[in-house]
Structure 1
Amino acid sequence: MFDVIVAGGGAAGFYAAIQIAQKNPTLKIAILERGKTVLSKVKISGGGRCNVTQAKFYANELVDGYPRGQKELLGPFHTHAPGDVVAFFEERGVPLKTEEDGRIFPKSDSSQCVIDCFLNEIEKHGIQLLKNSSVKGFEKLKNGNWQVSTMNKNYETRILLLATGSNTRVWSFLQDMGHTIVPPVPSLFTFNINDERIKGIPGISVDASIEIPPKKIFSSTISVDLKSAPKQHPVLESEGPVLITHWGLSGPAILKSSAWGARILEKYKYNFRVIVNWTPEYSTASMEGFLREVKEVEAKKTVSRTQALTLPKRLWMRLVGAAGISKELRWGEVNKEQLKNLSRQLTACSFKVEGKSTFKEEFVTAGGVDLKEINFKTFESKLFPNLFFAGEIIDVDGITGGYNFQNAWTGAYLAAQEIASRSLTVTT
C-alpha cells in the first residue's frame, strides 16, 4: 500500500516524486518504470547535454514557446518557472549555464549529472523505484483508492500521478474511463527534401525566413517559379536558423514550423512545399533591384565567384546554378530573366517536402489528455479525484529549447504541492 504512486520514470515522474517527498516526508511513494532503465529521454536530450529549461523568466514570454497549452500554462508558470528549476538543480549540486540562444544546460555539458541528481534525491527521500513495472491498467476501488496493475503485481495507492509521456496504452485506459484524448501527432521534426540545390552540402546554417503555403495551390507538376500561382497567405511562417542536412532541412525555423503546424502538416501527410527566403531583409522585388546594381558595379566578374551577399559560398553557387547562370558567366552578361530567377532563388526558394525525420533523438508528440479536463492549479483530473498528470501525457507540447522539460517540471511541481498537502493516513 502506497500513499502515492507515480507512473513513469522520466523527468516529470522523478521531479514530482522528489517534490512530494520534500514537502511531506511521511508519505510512502513509489515510481513505476516500465523498462530496466530510467530517465532515458533526459539522457539523450540536448545531444546528451540535457537542455534543462529556457531562460525566459517571465510567464507571459515563456508561454510563447507552446503551440498547445499557451493559455493553460500561464498561471502555472507564475508559480513555478525556469528560475525555480535553476534553483532546484543548483541547490543540489548541478550548476547550470545559459547559452546565447537562451537554452540552459548543466555546466558539465553532461545529462548524467541531472540523472545522478535525481537518483540521489530519491534514495535520500526513501522513494521506491520499481523497474520493469509496465502499467497494464488502473482502476478506482470502492474505498476510493487506486489499484494499479503492472506486469509483475498489483499495487494499491491513495493517489495516482501519471507521468507516462506519449504512452498510447495509458491514453487508451484513460479514454475507456471517460477522459477525452486528443489524437497524437508528431511535433518537432525535420523536413525530408531531395533537391540538387542542397544535396551534398550538409552543415550549412543560414538565418532565413520560411513560409508553408496552402497545399491546394500546388500540384505535382508545379515548377520552382511560383509567379503564376495565386497569392495566398501562408499557413505557417517562421524565422531563424535553417540548417541544411543530409536528408533535407532542419534548424530552429523548421522545427518551430513543425511544432506550430503539427496538425496541419499531418493532414498534408507530410507532403507539401516550403518557401525559404535565404535573405529575409530582402523581398523578391528589392533583391532584383539590388542585383541590378551589382551587375553594374561588378560587370567584369563572374557571378558564381563574386558573392553579392553574405551567404555561405557553397549555397550561393548552388542557387546561382539553379537560376540558369553558368559558372563562367560574368555579371555584365546576365540577362533580365536570369536576374529574376536568381532573385527568386534567394528570396522565394521553393522546395518539395516528402516526409519527415525525428529531430535527433528528441521526439515530441502533440496530443494527449484534453486540457479542458484538467485543473491547472493542481494538474488534477476534473473527472477523477486523486488522479494527477504531469508532462507529455497531456495535450501540451513546446518548441525546441527546453520548453518541453519546463512543462514537465511545472506540472510535476504543482501536482506535487497539492498531493503533499493533502492529509493522508496509510491503512495497511
Structure 2
Amino acid sequence: MIQEVKNTEVVSEPFELKHWIYNELVDLNVADTTAQYLNMLGLLLGLLIIVFIVDFLIRKILLQAFTKFAEVSKSNFDDLLVKNKVPRNVAHIIPLLIAIEFVPDIFSDFPDFEIMVEKGFKVFAIILTLWVVRSLLNTVKDFLKTLPSLKDKPVDSYIQVFMIFAWVAGIMSAIAILTGIPFLTFLTGLGAASAVIILVFKDTILGFVASIQVSINDMVRIGDWITFEKFGADGDVIEITLATVKVQNWDKTITTIPTYALISESFKNWRGMTSSDGRRIKRSLSIKMESVKYLNSEEVDKLKKIHLIEAYLNARQKDINTFNTNNKVNKEVSLNGRNLTNIGVFRKYVQEYIENHSAINKDMTIMVRQLAPSSQGLPIEIYAFSSDKRWVNYEYIMADIFDHVIAATPYFDLEIFELPSGSNFDIKH
C-alpha cells in the first residue's frame, strides 16, 4: 500500500514541493515511513489552509459584488440570487478545484489514499453542483412568483420536478463514482430495478402527473377558495407543490391535501363566484301551511297600504274582478273563480323587496319561489346575488334581508313553521 521512497532517490531528485517536508525529515534522521506520513499530513494541512483562505476571499468578493450590483439594479432577480445563497455556493467551486488538482501531489506516496480522497472530492463536487442548482432553481421560483401572470400557478411543483431529476442524476453519478462503474453501465443496470423505483416514488409520480393536469386544466390556483369535505378543507389555497396542496381554513388551521386527490376526488372551487359579479344568496323559510288562505276585499285593501305592492294589488284586483264578473262567478264561496292568496301576495312583496334592495345585483338572477311542501311547511326560497362578495358583508346583507322578511310575515297573516318547544305547551302541575 505504501510506496517506499529511498533516501538516495529523493536526495538525487531536483527540488519538489511535494517532497520538501519529507527531505527535511530524512535529513533529521526521521524514519522513512514516518517521514512519508508526516509529509502527507503537512501537505494536507497546508492545502486545507490555502483552500479555506481562497474560499473565504472568493466568497467575500462575490457577495460584495452581487450585493452592490443588486443595489443599483432595477430587477429583483439579483436580490433573489443573494437571498438564496447562489454566490456563496458558487464561491466553493474554485477552492474545490484547487483541492482536486493538488490531491495527486499530496498522496503521491499513498496511491490507495489518493483514489479514496479523489472519489470523496468528486462526490462532494456533485453535492456542491446540486446545491448550486437548488439555489438557482429556488431563485427562479421566487422570481416567477413575483410575476403577475404566474402568481397563481403551481410554480413549486415544476421546480420540485427539476430538483428531483437533478438529485436522481446526482445520486446515480455518486454511486457510479464510488463503485467505479461507468455511468452509462450503471444507468443501464437500473432498468432491472425500475419496478422498485416506481414503487418507492409512487406518490411523487402521481403528484407530478396530477400537478400537470391541475395546471393544464386550470383546476386550482394559489389564492382560490376551495371546499374539500373529505379532507376537512374549507379555505384559501396557499401553496401547491408536487406532493401536496396546502389550504388555510377560515379558522386559520392548515389542511394538507395530496395533489393527486384533486383529480381523483370531487371538491368545490369557489373561483367562479369570486370572479363573477355577485355572490349567490339561496335560502328559504318555511311557512306553516294552515296559515295560507284566500284574501277578501277588506284584507286586500289593508295590504294596499304597503307601498311596494300597492300598484300590483290594484292591477291584480281589477283583473280578478273583471274576470269573475264576466264569468258570473258565485263569490259566496271564496274557492270559486280567481282569488288572491296571502302567500301569493307575500311572495310578490318579497320579490319587490329584493329587486329594490341596494345590495342586490340587479343584472343577475332574482327569484322568489316556492319549493315542494314537506312535513315542515311550505318553503319560500329567495334566490339572488349580492353585489358585495366579501364574506362578512355578504353575511350581513343576507341576514338583513331575512330579518325584514321574517318580520314581514305577520302582516300577511302568515306564520313561520318551527318545531314546538316547551314554551308551546301548556303544562299543568
TM-score, reference length from structure 1: 0.25
Which structure ranks higher in relative contact order (CA pairs < 8 Å, sequence separation ≥ 6)? Answer: 1
- Bigger fraction of residues in strand: 1
TM-score, reference length from structure 2: 0.25
Which has the larger Rg?
2
